[in-house]
Structure 1
Amino acid sequence: MKLVIASALVAVGILSSASAFASKEKDLATKSACMACHAVDKKLVGPAYQDVAKKYAGDKTAEAKLVEKVKKGGSGVWGPIPMPPNAAVKDEDIKTLVKWVLAGAK
């Protein structure tokens, strides 16, 4: 019984940590002004992050392509509205955000 309770507590701790981790990335996206045009699960000005994850699923070059696109901006992939460059966002933060998006952004 003690083992079951201990396992449950560990599982809750892991889930809480995963939730906090996702919240950290979402906070970074908000701080970096990404959430002004994007949402996790619905299209705003730009695509939903979950749609981006689906589009690039299995593409081994996706991370590098998206890091470049976020930094320099772009247009034409998701419609006619261009994404402005994000040169003021640190490269490390862009990479963190892209990994979060590609992982399904929750």
Structure 2
Amino acid sequence: MKRTILTMGVLVILMASFSNADGARRENSESIAISTSASDKVSAGERLISKSDCMGCHNKVNKIIGPSYLSIAQKYKPTEKNVNALADKIINGGTGVWGTMPMSAHPSMKKSDAVLMVKYILSVKK
């Protein structure tokens, strides 16, 4: 019983630390140039990620099980083709691009939500 409570406490602390890391925002000339409607979509994508199970495997800057959002943003340009392909990857899952660990599928996720999440992820750059 004590071990279960201790494990749950550690998990809560880990999840809280991940959400604090994502809450920090850096402003640069690119973020200032983003239009109001584009920044609303980015915020919506970030909110969707924070409410999903993404943070169990991904972090904004550090690799956990899957790649960091920063690594993904550095690998993929924010083109319509890449956004749709990555949104499909979130929905259907997959393996092989970042190693042998499979990404779990999220078949109940709406494509529009996955697109917003991908647009946020691809906006994460140093």
TM-score, scaled to structure 2: 0.61
**Aligned counterpart for 1:69 among listed residues 49, 65, 89:** 89
How many residues align? The count is: 92
Matched, 1:102 2:119: no
2 CA distance for matches of 1:30 and 1:56?
22
Structure (1 or 2) with the larger CA radius of gyration? 1
Match of 2:71 in 1: 51
Structure 1 unaligned spans of 5+: 1-13
Match of 2:61 in 1: 41
TM-score, scaled to structure 1: 0.71
Structure 2 letter corresponding to 1:51: S
Is contact 1:32–1:89 with CA below 8 Å preserved after alignment? no
Question: Could you list the runs of 4 or more consecutive aligned residues of structure 1 that deviate by over 2 angstroms after TM superposition?
Answer: 18-27, 57-61
**RMSD of aligned residue pairs (Cα, Å):** 2.9
2 CA distance for matches of 1:93 and 1:77?
22
Q: Percent identity?
A: 38
**Aligned counterpart for 2:50 among listed residues 24, 27, 30:** 30
Change (3 A) 1:95 1:28: same
Match of 1:88 in 2: 108
Is contact 2:74–2:125 with CA below 8 Å preserved after alignment? no
